[in-house]
Every structure is written in C-alpha cells, then in structure tokens.
Amino acid sequence: DAMVIQNPRYQVTQFGKPVTLSCSQTLNHNVMYWYQQKSSQAPKLLFHYYDKDFNNEADTPDNFQSRRPNTSFCFLDIRSPGLGDAAMYLCATSRTGTNQETQYFGPGTRLLVL
Amino acid sequence: EDQVTQSPEALRLQEGESSSLNCSYTVSGLRGLFWYRQDPGKGPEFLFTLYSAGEEKEKERLKATLTKKESFLHITAPKPEDSATYLCAVPAGGGNKLTFGTGTQLKVEL
C-alpha cells in the first residue's frame, strides 16, 4: 500500500544534541510537509517542500532545518534541541492539482529531550 | 485571517448514541475542507475532503456535510472504536498550509 513512513517512531535525545528525523513516501507526491504537534494542540506547520522549493514558516525557529534529497525522502534536522522541542513531529504529503490538496500524514515521531 | 473553530472540545457518548461534531470556518475562497481522525500517539488519518456547499460524504458510521460557513461530522450509532480526536482543517491563504481546528475529543463508552 502506498504510504508515508516515519523513522524512528520514538526518539530520545539530550539537550543540545543534534537529531535527525526521517520521512519517506511511496505516494509519489510532489509536496512534503513537516508539522510539530504538542500535547492537546493542533499540528503546527514548520515548513514544506513544493517539489525542490523550500518554504519556511515565518515563526519556525532557526534551530529547525530540513532537507529533501529526492522526491521520496525528507529529513527534519534539529540542530540544538531544547526541552521545549519535545513534541510529536508529523510528516505529510500532498499532490498539487485541481482538488488534489488533501494531505496524508505519517504515523509521527515522538521526540523526547532529556 | 483564516480561522477554524471546532465544537465541542470533548464529547462523551454511549455506544449507539448518535451525535454531530461541528467545524466552523472563516476563509476567503474555500479550496476544500478536510476531516481527519487522530488516535493518541499517532498521525492524523485522512477521512474526507469536501469542496462545495451541499456536498456530503460517508464512510461507515461517519457522514460529513458542508455549508458555506460550517461542516458537520455526523456519527451514527457509534462504537467504542470510534473514540479518537477528530480534526478539521482548511487550506490557508493561497498556498499549501493547512489551518487546523483544535479538535473534538470523542469518547464512546459501552
């Protein structure tokens, strides 16, 4: 089945230690998104790639970076995680075109910062 | 500014007790309204996309409807496995960003 895959499902890191989360998709969608979701809150968009074009949200901290080496893969790098970065990180994909803006989410990576 | 408001924040139902969840939106030029289900510790699972007022979609015990100002998610004869948080979202501005509501946490008890 076509899907969005995130690894790892759980990640524990230390305060200030860089961490990378990965996302892959078999849907062949051209848009990929990274969201941050904290407990009992709505998902908050960090940035997205429209094909190879990177689009950063104005309020996304510089601590968060992203890479998309090809259509299928996208990475979220947190350069110096703080305690406030502990959250669920969600990857999503969509395909542009008329009535094709539905976003499909992966299972998420739960990040714990010690 | 695009806004999405969901009500109620939490809903507790008995098994078989039908009800509706509300999603009110303010957006210029609706390009779709999306419903998702989210289980604890998991990513949102896509349920429905609605594009125009009057449109309805169904899946098992769920039925989504859309007017010019709001959308309803009707749950008919719910079962405990329907317990989850239900999120609605609309595309914001002219781009791909989704504006989410804060969700309705549904609990269905035996």
pLDDT digits (tens, 9 = 90+) for A73-96: 999 999 999 999 999 999 999 988
* Ramachandran category for residue A35: left, alpha or beta (phi over 0 → left; psi -120 to 50 → alpha): beta
Closest partner residue to A90 among B32, B43, B51, by Cβ?
B43
Residues of B in contact with A48 (CB under 8 A): 96-97
Mean pLDDT of the region B95-101: 83
pLDDT digits (tens, 9 = 90+) for B84-96: 999 999 987 666 7
Over the Cα atoms of chain B, what is R_g? 13
Residues of A in contact with B101 (CB under 8 A): 42
Residue B30 is predicted with a pLDDT of 82
Residue B94 is predicted with a pLDDT of 64
The position carrying tokens 């709505």 is: A42
- Which residue of chain A has the CA closest to B104? A40
HEC assignment per residue over chain B: CCEEEEECCEEEEECCCCEEEEEEEECCCCCCEEEEEECCCCCCEEEEEECCCCCEEEECCEEEEECCCEEEEEECCCCHHHCEEEEEEEECCCCCCEEECCCEEEEEEC
When the pLDDT of each residue in chain A is averaged and rounded to a whole number, the result is 93
Q: Is A29 on the interface with B (CB under 8 A)?
A: no
| SS3 assignment, position A79 | coil
Please state, in angstroms and rounded to a whole number, the distance separating the CA atoms of residues A32 and A71.
9
pLDDT digits (tens, 9 = 90+) for A3-54: 999 999 999 999 999 999 999 999 999 999 999 999 989 999 999 999 999 9
Q: Is A99 on the interface with B (CB under 8 A)?
A: yes
Residue A94 is predicted with a pLDDT of 92
Please state, in angstroms and as integers, the Cα–Cα distance from residue A17 to each residue in A14, A26, A85, following that order.
Answer: 5, 30, 12
Please state, in angstroms and rounded to a whole number, the distance separating the CA atoms of residues B79 and B99.
29
Please state, in angstroms and rounded to a whole number, the distance separating the CA atoms of residues A112 and A12.
5
Q: Do B96 and A94 touch (CB under 8 A)?
A: yes
Adjacent-strand bridge partners of B55: none
- Which residue of chain B has the CA closest to A110? B41
Please state, in angstroms and rounded to a whole number, the distance separating the CA atoms of residues A60 and A46.
6
CB B16 within 8 A of CB B80: no
Please state, in angstroms and rounded to a whole number, the distance separating the CA atoms of residues A18 and B102.
30
Residues of A in contact with B43 (CB under 8 A): 4, 6, 88, 90, 92, 105-108
Please state, in angstroms and rounded to a whole number, the distance separating the CA atoms of residues A78 and A64.
5
Q: Do B100 and A43 touch (CB under 8 A)?
A: yes
